[in-house]
Amino acid sequence: MTRNEDLFARAQKTIPGGVNSPVRAFRSVGGTPRFFTKGEGACVWDADGKRYLDYVGSWGPLILGHADPDVVAAVQRTAANGLSFGAPTEAEIELAELLVKLVPSMDMVRLVSSGTEATMSAIRLARGFTGRDKIVKFEGCYHGHADSLLVKAGSGALTFGNPSSEGVPANLARDTLVLDYNAPHELARVFHEQGRDIACIIVEPVAGNMNLIAPRRDFLDAMRKLCDQYGSVLIFDEVMTGFRVGLGSAQGLYGITPDLSTFGKVVGGGMPLGAFGGRREIMEKVAPLGPVYQAGTLSGNPLSVAAGLATLEKVQARGFYEALSGRTQSLIDGLLDAAKRQGIVFSAQSVGGMFGVYFAANPPVTYAEVMASDKAAFNRFFHAMLEKGVYLAPSAFEAGFVSAAHTDADIAATVAAAESVFAEMKRA
């Protein structure tokens, strides 16, 4: 038995499924999850000492790569002065000021401890601001595991084939209207029928939890127009896309101004941190200024704030995103060429430092097209790449991530591994 297998058997005795987040269990792809002991740059090492090129990056936060020296040093300096105070610190102000500077749609921001907490709070705020109950979300999008959002959700819920979780009260589900992603006409119809009851739309501006789906321009424009017309709040869930697809995040990339935005992942630099913010008139409804309550013992935790500040400082360097996007596109181009040479039905695309791979003729634009891709082929590809030392997300329904630590040599090695796997798949 390998060390990974031994740890997994041990973990299942005390942790449901042996993991603390469902997709980590490898149940979608089969086999034994890898237990990691070290990360450095673009690589991770498992409990058996095997090295992998990592394209998960802790599911997106590690835009600088693992154990970036400046981020680690910032956390160490902060930890020497205390781990948590449950009271304000100057660094919280600095991070808030920086977020407001980098995201023009936000006049004010509240720091929290996770992306789930950020989206949950933003929806509560939208309901409190509008005095309405109904929310609109899109099938296959995932906004955390708050009750009203686990209705046809993406991410791990989609991977496990149970997108609507047990334990969600029916009355909450009734107030969540689930529509098709990239379907502006359906959105317009629902707003025509129920717009005066809709508190908000919450959307991943680039979907990353049913694999990567890029938004249609008319879909983005329709959301902004309809929210303006009916007095609803437009929430961009940028937990994944925030500072990952560009310095201005997805809203800057596409030129759409939401009313509220939620952030996580990159803003914490690998530490637990989330944020929600937006227009001043909406944010002033948050306690203690207003009647919408939100609180958290570890909100604005000093270590998380230190990691976030150090990360956001480095991503502002001239040419950072051009280099990151270029390297991600190089990976996609290489994979496409390799699949074509081997005659494998395969497609791929990228947005900034995010990418998606699909065993389908074309990149999907809808949830239905994602579900029609060849999941069994992905599972074979995943395990063969894992054997060759390339760690991809263990699900056909998750986006991948490239970091600034990935080199041209890393990309070339990944493409070479993939072409070898494609050749094996063709022979099979």
Catalytic residue list: 142, 237, 265
Pick from 428, 30, 410, 356: which is nearest to 346 by CA? Answer: 356
Pick from 196, 192, 195, 213: which is nearest to 204 by CA? Answer: 213
Measured in whole angstroms, the distance separating CA 422 from the mean position of its chain's CA atoms is 28
Pick from 214, 212, 217: which is nearest to 255 by CA? Answer: 217
Compute CA distances 34 → 45, 81, 384, 391, 411, whole Å. Answer: 9, 34, 14, 9, 22
Q: Name the DSSP class of 366.
A: S
Residue type (1 letter), 378: F
Compute CA distances 54 → 131, 184, 236, 385, 423, whole Å. Answer: 45, 36, 28, 11, 22
Pick from 230, 222, 138, 233: which is nearest to 184 by CA? Answer: 222
Nearest-angstrom CA–CA distance, 228 and 220: 13
Which residues lie closer than 8 Å to 94 by C-beta, 6 or more apart?
305, 309
Cβ neighbour number for residue 10 with a 10 Å cutoff: 12
Compute CA distances 295 → 60, 222, 278, 299, 428, whole Å. Answer: 26, 33, 18, 8, 55
Pick from 359, 360, 351: which is nearest to 401 by CA? Answer: 351
Given the structure tokens 């979608």, which residue do they identify? 28
Provide the CB-side half-sphere exposure for 190 (13 A, CA).
24
Contact by Cβ (8 Å): 249, 232: no
Helix (H, G, I), strand (E, B) or coil at 230: helix
Nearest-angstrom CA–CA distance, 89 and 272: 17
Nearest-angstrom CA–CA distance, 105 and 253: 13
